[in-house]
């Protein structure tokens, strides 16, 4: 068990599991492949009880269960799957129908500061260069924005997974008045070696509303590198609280 500050559930989970994997000297090197999170309740600011349990540590993959809080008041339930590099004779493949959204070069897009109370506190530490899909426009439009953590901090799995969750929901674009929204489920696949991402350049985010029904919205999110590689693919289910 460990007590950590729970700010970004996805980043916290990846960090914690990677630390635990590193403690096992006999474990072959492996990296995060998939994170799945059920956000069952708001995680308060400050220390939270985080339990990390290995579900299975095999020769090629590891699966971990992470719980924030304690029964019967579990706030976050999640799984993280790590895997080593497999056969190198298979070329990298990405669905050709997936292309990065149209965007000017990031340096040509002016940064827009975000901060509390209009945005979560963590946004103060990030750089946003929005292109389309500002909140409360009353129309359907993808959220397209360059985003990065300034300071050229090396990109790891935790940071990449955190950045895909940094933007506002695409369903907020469809509203014309303030509406409280919370993420219910989060599932993300890391599709590139994060060490190959240049930390001096932002990633291009696209958030797309797939469906909204009976107060629940399903959204996909993508992060693209400036050289056109799909780095993270994310699906979220959000609840429109009222």
**What's the number of CA atoms in the CB half-sphere (13 Å) around residue 129?**
18
Report pLDDT for 16: 53
* Residues 53/17, Cβ–Cβ less than 8 Å: no
Which residues are CB-neighbours of 166 under 8 A, at least 6 positions away? 122, 123, 126, 128, 147, 205
Does pLDDT of 219 surpass 90?
yes
Q: Are residues 177 and 219 in the same domain?
A: yes
Among the listed ranges 24-28, 45-49, 53-57, which one has the minimum average pLDDT value?
24-28
What CATH code is carried by the domain that includes residue 229? Answer: 2.40.160.210
Residues in a beta bridge with 216: 213, 239
Domain of 76? 1-85
* Residues 127/167, Cβ–Cβ less than 8 Å: no
Structural domain contains residue 94: no
Q: Are residues 79 and 157 in the same domain?
A: no
- For the segment 89-114, the average pLDDT, to the nearest whole number, is 90
Q: Which of 88, 106, 119, 115 is nearest to 181 (CA)?
A: 119
Q: What is the pLDDT of residues 124-146, one digit of tens each?
A: 999 999 999 999 999 999 999 99
Q: Are residues 36 and 116 in the same domain?
A: no
Q: How many domains does the chain have?
A: 2
Q: Are residues 52 and 132 in the same domain?
A: no
Structural domain contains residue 92: no
User: Rounded mean pLDDT of the chain?
Assistant: 86
Q: Are residues 116 and 233 in the same domain?
A: yes
Question: Pick the residue with more confidence: 30 or 106?
Answer: 106
């Amino acid at each position: 068990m460990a007590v950590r500050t729970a700010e970004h559930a996805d980043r916290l989970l990846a960090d914690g599991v990677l630390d635990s994997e590193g403690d096992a000297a006999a474990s072959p090197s492996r990296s995060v492949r998939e994170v799945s999170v059920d956000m069952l309740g708001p995680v308060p600011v400050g220390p939270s009880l985080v339990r990390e349990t290995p579900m299975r540590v095999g020769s090629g993959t590891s699966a971990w269960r992470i719980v924030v809080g304690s029964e019967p008041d579990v706030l976050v339930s999640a799984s993280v799957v790590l895997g080593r590099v497999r056969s190198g004779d298979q070329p990298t493949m990405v669905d050709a129908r997936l292309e990065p959204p149209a965007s000017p070069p990031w340096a040509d897009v002016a940064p827009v500061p975000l901060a509390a109370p209009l945005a979560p506190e963590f946004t103060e530490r990030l750089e946003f260069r929005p292109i389309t899909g500002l909140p409360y426009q009353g129309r359907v439009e993808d959220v397209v924005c360059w985003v990065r953590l300034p300071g050229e901090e090396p990109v790891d799995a935790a940071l990449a997974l955190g950045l895909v969750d940094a933007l506002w929901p695409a369903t907020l674009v469809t509203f014309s008045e303030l509406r409280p929204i919370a993420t219910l489920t989060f599932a993300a696949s890391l599709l590139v070696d994060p060490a190959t991402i240049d930390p001096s350049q932002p990633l291009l985010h696209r958030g797309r509303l797939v469906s909204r029904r009976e107060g629940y919205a399903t959204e996909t999110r993508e992060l693209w590198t400036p050289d056109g590689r799909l780095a993270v693919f994310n699906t979220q289910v959000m609840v429109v609280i009222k």
